[in-house]
């Protein structure tokens, strides 16, 4: 009797593995700014850019001898009555002695508009300069509502930008641009798991696959034991 030949599985040839270049290349600051936002320019640089745009801000300096903060500001009152300004602009870029920016705030009162109700070109230069200096392209979306004097609010990757009508003062608008203070890991984690990036899976079976591997393995093991016990 002739024994049947024993079949052995042939070893598959090794397959080349390609490593994406993005995993080993040096980080790019422009790309990093989209994930963890921080000011890439200094306070004095922003103040100079505003002056170059025709917004005559002061020099970057401490507001008083005892102050630990530094700032530059711009204020013009074009028209007022006995009680308050009727047409004015205020802008302040605030930071520290090292030039780091902490916040940018301002207020428009009775801003001039064109025949279609759009904000005056000279006032728009404030916001165009700030968005350009920040370097975050998605904040370009703020310029259209600001030009139309509509409320705008955007908080992404640790940066907050708002333009709002003051409900207690007619024809007045407050604006603010702030990078949230906090540790880098906290900011990165909050930005990464933002609802804008992730949605809840409608199918529980699909949602289960998003569990960490350790929890998924223990859950599958529990289901297997329940199946064996029911036999």
pLDDT of residue 176: 95
Residues 92 and 103 placed together within one structural domain of the fold? yes
pLDDT of residue 197: 59
pLDDT of residue 204: 55
What string of pLDDT tens digits covers the 231 residues of the chain? 556 655 656 677 777 777 766 666 665 554 444 456 778 899 999 999 999 999 999 999 998 888 889 999 999 988 777 666 678 899 999 999 999 999 999 999 999 898 888 999 999 999 999 999 988 888 888 999 999 999 999 887 778 899 999 988 878 999 999 986 655 555 556 556 666 556 665 555 555 545 454 554 555 555 555 555 555
| Residue 94 belongs to some domain of the structure | yes
| Residue 151 belongs to some domain of the structure | yes
Residues 214 and 121 placed together within one structural domain of the fold? no
Residues 63 and 111 placed together within one structural domain of the fold? yes
Residues 166 and 187 placed together within one structural domain of the fold? no
| Residue 6 belongs to some domain of the structure | no
| Residue 231 belongs to some domain of the structure | no
| Residue 10 belongs to some domain of the structure | no
pLDDT of residue 107: 95
Residues 139 and 198 placed together within one structural domain of the fold? no
| Residue 13 belongs to some domain of the structure | no
| Residue 58 belongs to some domain of the structure | yes
Listed residues 148, 165, 181: the one ending a domain? 181
Provide the strand spans (E) within 12-170: 69-80, 85-96, 101-109, 152-156, 159-165
pLDDT of residue 124: 95
Using CA atoms, how far apart are residues 101 and 46, in angstroms rounded to an integer? 9
The Cβ of residue 163 has, within 10 Å, a number of other Cβ atoms equal to 22
- pLDDT above 90 covers a percentage of the chain that reads 37
Residues 158 and 122 placed together within one structural domain of the fold? yes
Q: Is the dihedral of CA 157, 141, 128, 177 positive or negative?
A: negative
Residues 155 and 194 placed together within one structural domain of the fold? no
**Domain range spanning residue 165?**
29-181
| Residue 120 belongs to some domain of the structure | yes
Residues 69 and 137 placed together within one structural domain of the fold? yes
Phi, psi of 179 (to 5 degrees): -100, 120
* Chain length of the chain: 231
Structurally, the chain folds into a number of domains equal to 2
pLDDT of residue 37: 74
Record the pTM: 0.62
pLDDT of residue 33: 42
């Amino acid at each position: 009797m002739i024994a049947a030949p024993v079949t052995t599985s042939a070893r598959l040839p090794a397959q080349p593995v390609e490593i994406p270049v993005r995993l080993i290349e040096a980080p790019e600051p422009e790309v990093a700014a989209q994930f963890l936002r921080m000011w890439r320019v200094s306070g004095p640089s922003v103040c100079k850019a505003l002056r170059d745009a025709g917004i005559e801000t002061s020099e970057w300096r401490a507001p008083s001898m005892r102050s630990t903060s530094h700032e530059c500001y711009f204020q013009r009152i074009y028209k007022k009555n006995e009680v308050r300004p009727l047409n004015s602009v205020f802008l302040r870029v605030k930071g520290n002695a090292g030039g780091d920016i902490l916040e940018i705030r301002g207020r428009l009162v009775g801003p001039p508009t064109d025949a279609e109700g759009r904000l005056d070109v000279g006032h728009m230069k404030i916001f165009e300069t700030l968005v350009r200096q920040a370097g975050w392209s998605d904040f370009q979306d703020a310029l259209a509502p600001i030009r139309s004097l509509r409320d705008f609010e955007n908080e992404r990757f640790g940066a907050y930008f708002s333009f709002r009508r003051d409900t207690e003062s007619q024809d007045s608008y407050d604006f603010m641009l702030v990078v949230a203070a906090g540790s880098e890991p906290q900011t990165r984690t909050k930005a990464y798991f933002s609802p804008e990036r992730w949605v809840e899976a409608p199918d529980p079976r699909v949602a289960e696959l998003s569990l960490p591997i350790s929890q998924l393995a223990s859950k599958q093991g529990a289901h297997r034991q329940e199946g064996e016990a029911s036999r």
